[in-house]
Amino acid sequence: MAMQNKFYYKSPIGILEIELRNDTIQRLRVVESCSNISERSGYFEEVAKQLDEYFAGKRTKFELNIYPKGTEFQKKVWAELLKISYGKTKSYQEIAEAIGNTNAQRAVGSACSKNSILLIIPCRRVISKYGKLAGFACGLDVKQKLLNIEN
């Protein structure tokens, strides 16, 4: 039987709600509040450890099991985002070209906005073709903060 649990992690960008199912991250998002921060045990202990290291600037790549739910197009975009190296950015245009759909910049932006596994799938690393920050579910200030951690 599948075990599904929600855990809460206090981060520099707010409280993260992490949904795990059988040691796989199904969802990771920022929430307004929670009743209490979760005790670190089981697979959540590993997730929290890697998040600690990331926020401390000591981890450049997550090594966690993820299962993002979305359309085939969204999954293709998210797989491409996972290839963007720590400290680097790519434009929506570059992502569209990389997945073989040159005119899909807006659709790429839409797929980024539907990313249900924030931080692990690095949509923060996608910027406009003019080098400006654009769209981010948690706000541009949080996007900038995350990019600053990586630089």
Residue tagged active-site, from 34, 112, 123, 138:
123
DSSP 35: S
Beta strands in the chain (DSSP E): 4-11, 14-21, 25-31, 90-91, 126-127
What number of H helices and E strands is found in the chain?
Answer: 5, 5
In the annotation, is 34 catalytic?
A: no
CA distances from 138 to 13, 53, 56, 95 (A): 9, 21, 20, 21
Using an 8 Å Cβ cutoff, are 81 and 57 in contact? no
Using an 8 Å Cβ cutoff, are 6 and 18 in contact? yes
Residues tagged active-site: 123
